[in-house]
Structure formats: structure tokens, C-alpha cells
Structure 1
């Protein structure tokens, strides 16, 4: 985990992987930090993203707006084991209507399959 950050970000297998610290509330500043960090490590690219929620408590509305309007990804797979993780994903997709396809998964392997199989998410828009 990078010092001072509440997430870890890496490029893996043709997609971006972000793993949030366990049990946090994501703030607007966290969202801005992620958008900035993504541009630093993957400048000008628009790859799919796998986001591991890790039993997240919530995401502030302003943070969700940042993700929906400024996150430069081709698609977003949200992965989490809890009902709250599922609710966060459903609320984000339903209320904030990001410009990229978004889907919730309880299993990271299924999420990667969706992200990395050509045509999976592009035809769902």
C-alpha cells in the first residue's frame, strides 16, 4: 500500500486494479486521489478497471460524482463480499450513471472475465 493513500493501484493483465483499504468510507478527496494516481501511472490510457471494495462502509456522494465524471476507464467491475458493497455498486450505477459500463461481482475472477473478454462490456451500453 502506498504511504498516505487509502488504496493500492496497479496495472495487471490489461486492466487497472485498485484495492481499497478494508472497511473505509471513500471521500471526495480519495476519489480525486485515485483519478490523479491513475493518470500518473497510466497516462492517456482508458483501460478497464477492477475495483476491490473490501467491505467498504460507503462512498460520499461527491466522491461518486468524481468517479462518474472524471475516472478515465473503459469499464468498471466493482467486487465486494458484502451486501453493502453490492448496494454501493447499485447506487453508483443507478444514480450517478457513469459514462462507462459498470457491474458488480462478488467474485474477482468473474469480474476479470467480464473486463478482459472482448465485447463483454462494450455491447452492454
Structure 2
């Protein structure tokens, strides 16, 4: 599967070597509709197979409370590695992980290679 990017989408989804890579555009403000659309893409891409997913959230502007709640709903991801760069990214991820129970093992990383290593270790 190649890159999925509908007109106006705030994210792209790509499957590489059996893993999904969801990239949020820098500066976006993620609302509940955006989170639901992204999760629908993930579920469609997986079909009946569960896959590890790298979520690049570097420089996301904000995430609404309602959008965070969507990510607590089980989806086709088997493990989720949240990838960020800044202290703000870490705060957003830790807030989500502290308030919501993720539907599968989920961790925050600032290193892409460490995130990929953790994802592939769970395969």
C-alpha cells in the first residue's frame, strides 16, 4: 500500500514493511473528526490483520479532548509508538497516556530508530 492522503487531510498513512506510519502535519489542530478519519484509515489499511503503528506527532499544534478519547477506542493497531521531537510533544503524549488507557501497548519516543526497534520487537 502506498501513501494515503485525501485532499485536505491533516495526516498521511503509509504501510512500510508490515508497519503503518501515520504522520500528522506540523502545526495541525487535531479535532475529533480528524482522529476518527485517521483511525478509519488505519482500520481500512489493516483489514483483519493487526499491525504495529508509528505515529509521527512532531510539532502537532494541539489535540482536542474529544480527539484524545477516540484514541482510547480499540483499532487494528497491535502496538503504537508515538514519535515526537520537542518537550511539547512529550507533554501531549504523557498527558494522553496518563489520562486515557490506550487500546494496545503504547510508548513515546524521540528516536525513530528506537521506536521502530520497539515496534518490530512486538511482532
Check whether TM > 0.5: yes
Q: 2:92: which partner in 1? A: 88
Q: 1:51: which partner in 2? A: 55
TM-aligned CA deviation for residue 45 of structure 1 = 2.1
Q: Are residues 1:116 and 2:120 paired?
A: yes
TM-aligned CA deviation for residue 87 of structure 1 = 0.8
TM-aligned CA deviation for residue 68 of structure 1 = 1.0
TM-aligned CA deviation for residue 48 of structure 1 = 1.0
Q: 2:42: which partner in 1? A: 38
Structure 2 stretches lacking a partner, 5+ long: none
Q: Give the secondary structure class of the aligned counterpart of 2:118.
A: helix
Q: Are residues 1:79 and 2:74 paired?
A: no
Q: Scaled by the length of structure 1, what TM-score is found? A: 0.88
Q: Scaled by the length of structure 2, what TM-score is found? A: 0.89
TM-aligned CA deviation for residue 115 of structure 1 = 0.3
Between the aligned partners of 1:13 and 1:111, the Cα distance in structure 2 is: 14
Per-residue CA deviations over 1:11-70 (Å, capped at 9, x if unaligned) read 112211000011112110001001111122221221111000121122111111111114
Structure 1 stretches lacking a partner, 5+ long: 120-125
Q: Are residues 1:107 and 2:108 paired?
A: no
Q: 2:71: which partner in 1? A: 67
Aligned length: 119
Instruction: Give RMSD over aligned pairs.
Output: 1.4
User: If each structure's helix is expressed as a fraction of its own residues, which one has the higher value?
Assistant: 1
Between the aligned partners of 1:100 and 1:118, the Cα distance in structure 2 is: 11
User: If each structure's strand is expressed as a fraction of its own residues, which one has the higher value?
Assistant: 2
